[in-house]
Structure 1
Amino acid sequence: MFQVSKRRLGRNGPEVSAIGLGCMGMSEFYVGGTEAESIATIHHALDRGVNFLDTADMYGWGKNEELVGRAIADHRDEVFLATKFGNVRGPNGEFLGVRGDPEYVRSACEASLKRLNVDVIDLYYQHRVDPNVHIEDTVGEMSRLKEEGKIRFLGLSEASPRTIRAAYATSPITAVQTELSLWSRDAEEDVLPTVRDLGIGYVAYSPLGRGFLTGQFKSPDDFPEDDYRRNHPRFQGENFEKNIALVREVEALAREKDCTTAQLALAWVLAKGDDIVPIPGTKHRKYLDDNIGALEVKLSDEDLRRLDEILPPGAAAGERYAAQSMATIDR
């Protein structure tokens, strides 16, 4: 089995695996799987050269950071570890809003270091932008944590171009993470040009459309009752039917290319630029291997043109989040 190649995060940033591993679903939102299989998946990722692991303090109320911490305990030197702060949750998982005030930034970082059982976080993102705090104040505190050796690189998630530029003027930003896939192409319009102008790396989350672009789902009933995707507009009713029709067209092209639908969808993200690192999530080794296989799928100009015809910007039916979550996106 080939080893995963590397990509540089931004003009002057670190080298990380060309595909990362999103760990969120190992602890919350997606059902199925076990902790043992999740940890085995992380270890298998490291064996294959996937060293870029992505978690956040809100995933499973901190449980995901603890799981990742256990998994990498004997592998710290092999891992480029990213986590996030800013989405505040209560004791029962309820969403309490977004915080980016310096006091919270510091306390969140200390808590993540403890849960992860590490001395330093490689890449620390603000998960969502706090509209009530100047981004300069948030990033200023992140910079102080960097000076103290608690974090190595600074990142932003779901930040608008205006916020990215204001943050970058305060302190070097290494990576910006937003959603990018064949059915979520908003970033192409202004976020990608902004980060490229500034020399910031780009991390694409949900590059498989929360699993929709794998072709595994045929109806909304394929999701268990407690799977959070049932609450997503794109997975409901008429929207589901419209979106699944588009995926079937992607499936047909994947058959022609002799690859899986997931590999084709990931190959499209990878083809958008060498400065883009997708972080598909999985908690199963077989899907991890499938995702890595996308690096061997070469898309011609004609392939890219056909995918643009099938899923041009704005083609997906429905918002990418429910209304409450969309309200936290900095736009």
Structure 2
Amino acid sequence: MTITSNPLDRSSRIYVAGHRGMVGSSIMRRLHETGYLNIVTRDRAELDLLDQAKTAEFLSSEKVDFIFLAAAKTGGIQANDTYRADFIYENLMIEANIIHSAFKAGVQRLLFLGSSCIYPRDCKQPITEGDLLTGPLEPTNLPYAVAKIAGVKMCESYNLQYGTRYFSVMPTNLYGPNDNYDLRNGHVLPALIRKAHEAKVRGDANLAVWGSGMPRREFMYVDDVADACVFLMEQGIGDGMFNIGTGVDVTIRELAETIMEIVGFQGGIIFDASKPDGTPRKLLSVERVRALGWEAKTSLRDGISKAYEDFLSRWDR
């Protein structure tokens, strides 16, 4: 791990790629809260990050110092398994275009947001950063995982060949404001919030949950990962990879029961064993980032309560 001589400061010109997404918008909130105001953004209509020439032109002209690379195509098990070509193509193109163009434009430092799905399906628990590429990936989200691994290795390779100072963070399963509550494309926690709410409104007797309910997952409120990203930039981190999580996991059954309680749905649960469980367990070791002085602050119950408020504010009741 390299600590650079140019940590993030209030005068830095910062580009947040993917600023309208759940993670990107949270990073924007955190930057504004801590006094960073020299921030550059572009929405998809203004800049197509799949276009290499336009991405290069943008970064060359804007003269940014730091990049938070949060732009990505994301989704849950069903979306990952259905749109496999879209997930690998779009994510590879976005990260390749930004990382290479950042190098060409002389961007000082870059933070690449990956995903815990980069780790082997049957990894020992908790998962350390050193477990990358030590075994087969989970088949249902393999294309997305391969793209994210490529982003990690791009940062590493550009550092080694060109002396750039780019690093990666691997967040656990995220949820919170600006999440995707679509039942076909969303992740498990926001999908369960919507399903439990709609089941309550309809007066259903049961909540249908994919799989067996036995897999264990770790969930983190998105504002915590944004806090971690800004923290690491402020520390002057210049290379390497950092897991970002809570260090605590729950079964899908326990998650569903907590959501049902918060939403106020008093029915039972029916598990659909015909649907995939995905990875049996995925708990990240967060010792590397804790050693630097950072820990997650939001409990699962408090985070789900805030996420449900966000859902109600944005969804037809």
Q: Is TM more than 0.5 here?
A: no
TM-score range, shorter chain: 0.3 to 0.5
TM-score by length of 1: 0.32
